[in-house]
Structure 1
Amino acid sequence: MNDLRRIDLNLLVILDTLLSEQHVTRAAERLHLSQPAVSHALARLRDLLGDPLLVRAGASLVPTPRALELMAPLAEVLAQLQSLLAPNAFEPATAKRTFRLAMSDYGAAIVLPGLTRLLRREAPGIDLQISHASREGMLDGVYNGDIDIAIGVFPEMPNELRSTLLFEEHYACLVDRNSLPVDGALDLPTYLSRPHVLLEMRGSGTPEIERALTTLRERRRVAISLPHWNVAPELISGTDLILTVATRALRDIDQQSLVVVPPPFHIPSFDFVLVWHKRRGGDQALSWLNQKIAERVAQDRG
């Protein structure tokens, strides 16, 4: 009990921010505090916890093993406190809140247009911070409390995370219309003989396609690998390149010169999901946002 009396809850908020930023100045800016105030708080935390917590490594501060152990429980405690102190009823029309969402270009194209219009209409005080990372990076962010919601394809998740199915997705191929055979079909020999464009973010790639080819004991040649979607269709136009991606990513393609065709081999469908941490189950605002995202995506599918 004596130790608890020594702890100022503001110190926990500062520690959470320091562990996230790993930089005193950035943490001070995010907290709207002076750098000396944050440095003083770090000194108090080191004394209370009996550990350096963050040690100097060049221009950054690196968490100690003890600090890494504290990250997830600390984020959970702060989320529970926020839920405990929040008003009993969440009122979207008057709420002031910032949510941190992680998603790929594909996810952003599917979710953000409709969600943004809904928020401006129903909850204009809610702001969104969107980030982009690998699948593993997004799940780590949710697990550690740096991200509120991750949206994407996650075949494997830690037990502490929860998900909502938004829709089941399939793959399709984008090719130049003039590069197709006379019958307009894309067969497997043609697919394998052509060079391919691969959309890839920090090494995550599209393993589902490669696994499907492996079952056939075949491989494709990736001529161009790039981390963003916008330019990809332009690379296909006027070339023999093939782009194999999620079907919904191709729904607005101008089919004057480009054509969408089924893959000439079976690629399993995949679930596109929304992910959050189970410790946030009592956060009414987050639950409301999860529900609205699911409803909005369902309406867009219709």
Structure 2
Amino acid sequence: MDELRRIDLNLLLTLHALLAEKHVTRAALRLHKSQPAVSHGLAQLRAHFDDPLLVRRDGQMALTPRALSLIEPLAEALGTLNGLLAAQQFDPAAAQRRFRLTLSDYSARLILPPLVRYVRRHAPGIDLAVSQASRDAMLAQLVDGEVDVALGIFPDRPDTIHVQDLFAEEFISLADKSTLPPKGGLTLDEFLRRPHVKLALRPDSHDEIERALGELGLQRHIAVALPHWSAAVELIAGTDLILTAASRTSGAMASHKALRRFKPPFALPSFSYQQAWHARRDDDPGHRWLRDAIFACSQPGGG
């Protein structure tokens, strides 16, 4: 406890913002404080830890090794303190809180609309801040305490990240029906001869489809790679392109009479779409309410 007496606990919030932003001005904006106040806080933190924490390197600010070592334990400590100080009963109708979600274009289309309606109906004082990131970045943000919940597929994750299955999914392929046989789909050779649309935040990422083809010693030609699920469906009509994606993608086909779905001509595993959070949030009543709301809104007729 002696160390706690030596530091103003508000400085820990300043430290958390500086570690996340790596920039004094952005940290000040995040904390709703003036830049001089955050600069003064940084000076106090440097004295306390006997380390510069934030240094200029190659024209930009970077964290020192000591600062990097503080990221995870600080996030865990602040999460624990927040849970300790939070009211044990959570009244959604009276709550004033902001939750940070990270999710893909896919879940933004499927889950976010019913979730927003649910929140506005049951907890109008709760705000949602939504961002988009790659799977690896989502996990890093959860570990660092940057987001509260991530939606996606998380087969490989740290032990500190907990997940809940929301619904089962499978892959289907979509193409303009004029480029397909009158009945059925394509053979594997025909499939590989065609150009493809790939859904990914990073065009060079190696996703489940590439891995399945790679195990067969095969690869497809990616003519268009983009991160936008809704836009991908719009690209298919009137072209020879093929889109292979989660089956619920085909819900956007209602306005595209020219499209037809078919089964990919090679084995692709089914998967569970999930919500993920850090273990430090398990006992937070408000966070539990949010997770329950997300689960309910992901079910048929939910929200």
TM-score, normalization by structure 1: 0.95
What is the deviation of 1:175?
0.3
Counterpart residue number, 1:44: 44
Alignment of 1:5-24 (within 5 A): 5-24=5-24
Tell me the alpha carbon deviations over residues 21-68 of structure 1, each in whole angstroms, 9 at most, x when there is no partner: 111112112212221111111111111111111112366431111111
Counterpart residue number, 1:167: 167
Counterpart residue number, 2:57: 57
What is the deviation of 1:204?
6.6
Counterpart residue identity of residue 66, structure 1:
R
Counterpart residue number, 2:271: 270
Cα contact 2:203–2:226 (8 A) shared by 1: no
What is the deviation of 1:215?
2.9
Distance 1:238 1:35 in 2: 54
Q: Percent identity?
A: 50
Counterpart residue number, 1:292: 293
Distance 1:204 1:129 in 2: 28
Distance 1:264 1:10 in 2: 58
Counterpart residue number, 1:114: 114
Counterpart residue number, 1:215: 215
Change (3 A) 1:284 1:60: farther
Distance 2:216 2:79 in 1: 47
Change (3 A) 1:101 1:59: farther
Cα contact 1:199–1:205 (8 A) shared by 2: no
Distance 1:38 1:58 in 2: 23
**1:97 and 2:97 aligned:** yes
What is the deviation of 1:227?
2.2
Cα contact 1:16–1:75 (8 A) shared by 2: yes
CA RMSD across the alignment: 1.7
Structure 1 gaps of 5+ residues are none
Cα contact 2:152–2:273 (8 A) shared by 1: yes
Tell me the alpha carbon deviations over residues 143-171 of structure 1, each in whole angstroms, 9 at most, x when there is no partner: 11111111101120011110001111100
Distance 1:38 1:183 in 2: 66
Distance 1:25 1:119 in 2: 32
Counterpart residue identity of residue 281, structure 2:
R
Change (3 A) 1:17 1:190: same
Deviates more, 1:50-59 or 1:165-174: 50-59
Change (3 A) 1:59 1:33: farther
Aligned residue for 1:251, secondary structure, equals helix
What is the deviation of 1:248?
0.7
What is the deviation of 1:182?
2.7
Distance 1:187 1:232 in 2: 23
Change (3 A) 1:289 1:7: same
Cα contact 1:198–1:205 (8 A) shared by 2: no
Counterpart residue number, 2:67: 67
What is the deviation of 1:82?
1.0
Distance 2:166 2:204 in 1: 21
Cα contact 1:212–1:266 (8 A) shared by 2: yes
Deviates more, 1:149-158 or 1:27-36: 27-36
What is the deviation of 1:301?
7.5
What is the deviation of 1:172?
0.4
Cα contact 1:133–1:201 (8 A) shared by 2: yes
Cα contact 1:80–1:282 (8 A) shared by 2: no
Counterpart residue identity of residue 151, structure 1:
L
Distance 2:107 2:205 in 1: 15
Tell me the alpha carbon deviations over residues 227-280 of structure 1, each in whole angstroms, 9 at most, x when there is no partner: 222322222111111000000111131341111111111101112111100011
**1:142 and 2:175 aligned:** no
Cα contact 1:134–1:203 (8 A) shared by 2: no
Cα contact 1:46–1:52 (8 A) shared by 2: yes
Counterpart residue identity of residue 27, structure 1:
A
How many residue pairs are counted as aligned between the two chains? 302
What is the deviation of 1:203?
4.4
